[in-house]
Chains A and B, each alone.
Chain A
């Protein structure tokens, strides 16, 4: 068996052995992405038996599983022996590599990649880059950069990534917050699953407001009422919308106020009609866009009459000029 850091090959000494499934130690931390075997695999193993050996290191007292956890689990359930390919004595780094390579055709999620890299990071933080390509990270790609950034975060954040609560795209933003900021932000990701765009916006607005206004993340989140929203019985979607809107108000106070004023006046003008009034360009042009959907002539006549009535409303001046009068 080669002990080269990046090359682990079969040697002439590799051998196939059989042992009872329950005898295999399948608790190694290098088994990064194990999951309950799928029904199709269970059925196949039950009907046709084990067609491929699992990989083990049997250099010690008993076989230590290196790869093949799903097959082993099936065979444990069936109480059968397991055919193992004994790879010989491997160190912890090599065990991790064997597992990664035996899963080389898997399409790995960001969370899976980070989980594997945390293992290698604990063994030798200076060498994790050696494994990037094995994990499908293109050299100098955005994904690689973000993964590296993510590894600078406390390990507790990995769960948020793995559970889909925090997207990898946030890595560099999160890394910029520092320990206190991260501690304040963690509750946001505990139970809420943020989309990439929403999370990036939220964190960007918080970070920029903090830098611009010289305020801590705690102060900003207090002002945005985040804690109260998280404790409320709002649905996750509504809670995220409320938090996002409140944080946006902190980042863009004047624009938010103008949008609120516009919406209130537009509602008054269009009350009782099917017309929709929007400001199309963040008040840059001072224009108002009106739209209505009609299904026939009668609807068209009604919309036209509504428009005539709306045109005499005194609120239009405020809509057209924004607040730069």
Chain B
């Protein structure tokens, strides 16, 4: 068996719901983590309270809805993509990660009842075969972070090949391209990487994520194989010297990719619920960016003061435009005013953000 990547070496125990103990996902995990303790929960039994640790991998029979809309937020423009919910939490230790405040525990959960997932997706996509859908798995976990253990994205890519109207985005901060062999049509899969300034990657992503160079090199590999990639500057963080950092990352993009290789690039300023700030202060006391000039946004979340956000967005947009990107650029959860001030257009000018991104996703 190949050596596990660093971010998975902290897993010390596997817990499995009995109902999914023989599932393909559980079999793969069992094979790849054969030396770890393996606990099976009988039907109705729950994970023991107190086991809220990130070193536990829990293969669960999930009973909720797998396909759902991105929660978005009021007053700001949402990209409208749909989430395929495959699990919760992430072993990467990014200081700014919303998941540390969003979930009750840090247990790595994987919905191992894939048959239920396939059934639900088939019902949803077969009901409207002509309706294009942009879906992704990177909302409640990193799309690829558990891939060496579960092969989940590989399965999903293979499954979705039969629905040509569905475009899947796999969003990550690690490099795992094993899913590529399952993609029969590269147009329907959008590998995506989160980008940030080198300083933020070094200090706030705690060193177990892939480096910027590795992420972009992986994106280049995908592009050469015919895939178009997505890049996400989210969260953009305000810190002393941010200009140099984000300028460097913008330059690096074009060392690896041509504008035509890129389906779209999102930009989102660091925003958070008050609970997240408390988590960051407690878990990452060196992360001083949380003491920036945040105000309460129209949706109740904390956001950087608008002129500071606009300053950062404009700076980045200028550099990305120099590299040849323009229509692919969009803002995540921003108002029309900010869109206008930064990009000189609003989502309405693009025919609506949802439709615009759908066109970009499908290469139209």
Contact = CB atoms under 8 A, between A and B. Distances in A.
Interface of A: 208-209, 211-212, 251-255, 258, 281-286, 322-325
Nearest to A252: B293
Contact of B307 (A208, A252, A281, A323): A323
Contacts of A252: 293, 305
At the interface, is chain A mostly helix, strand, loop or mixed? loop
A304 B293 CA distance: 37
A262 to B, nearest CB: 12
Contacts of A258: 305, 307
B306 to A, nearest CB: 5
B307 A284 contact: no
A282 B307 contact: no
A253 B298 CA distance: 21
Contact of B305 (A209, A211, A254, A325): A254
Contacts of A251: 291
Given A284-B297, A324-B341, A208 B291 contact: yes
A255 B337 contact: no
9 contacts: A208-B291, A212-B292, A251-B291, A255-B295, A283-B307, A284-B303, A286-B306, A286-B337, A322-B306
Contacts of B298: 281, 284-285
Contact of A211 (B291, B293, B311): B291
A324 B337 CA distance: 10
B12 interface: no
Contacts of B293: 252-255
Contacts of A209: 291
A282 B296 contact: yes
A167 to B, nearest CB: 20
B283 interface: no
Contact of A322 (B288, B296, B307): B307
A83 to B, nearest CB: 56
Nearest to B314: A324
Contact of A285 (B288, B291, B310, B337): B337
A260 B308 CA distance: 17
B149 to A, nearest CB: 38
A5 to B, nearest CB: 31
Interface in B298-320: 298, 303, 305-308, 310-311
Ranked nearest first, the 4 interchain pairs of A and B with the lowest CB-CB distance are: A282-B295, A212-B291, A208-B291, A324-B307
B300 to A, nearest CB: 11
Contacts of A281: 295-296, 298
Contacts of A322: 306-307
Interface string B270-303: 0000000000000000001001110111100001
Q: Which of A209, A252, A284, A322 has the most CB of B within 10 A?
A: A284
A282 B337 CA distance: 14
B335 interface: yes
Given A208-B291, A212-B292, A281-B298, 13 more contacts: A252-B305, A282-B295, A283-B307, A284-B297, A284-B298, A284-B335, A286-B306, A322-B307, A324-B306, A324-B307, A324-B310, A324-B341, A325-B341
A82 B308 CA distance: 73
Nearest to B296: A282
Contacts of A323: 307
Contacts of B305: 252, 254-255, 258, 282-283
Contacts of B335: 284-285
A65 B77 CA distance: 72
Nearest to B239: A212
A312 B310 CA distance: 28
A302 to B, nearest CB: 33
Nearest to A204: B291
B291 A254 contact: no
Contacts of B296: 281-282
Contacts of B311: 324
A286 to B, nearest CB: 5
Nearest to A256: B293
A276 B24 CA distance: 67
A286 B339 CA distance: 13
Contacts of B310: 324
A283 B291 CA distance: 19
Given A284-B295, A284-B297, A212 B288 contact: yes
B272 to A, nearest CB: 15
A204 to B, nearest CB: 10
A245 to B, nearest CB: 16
Contacts of A286: 306, 337
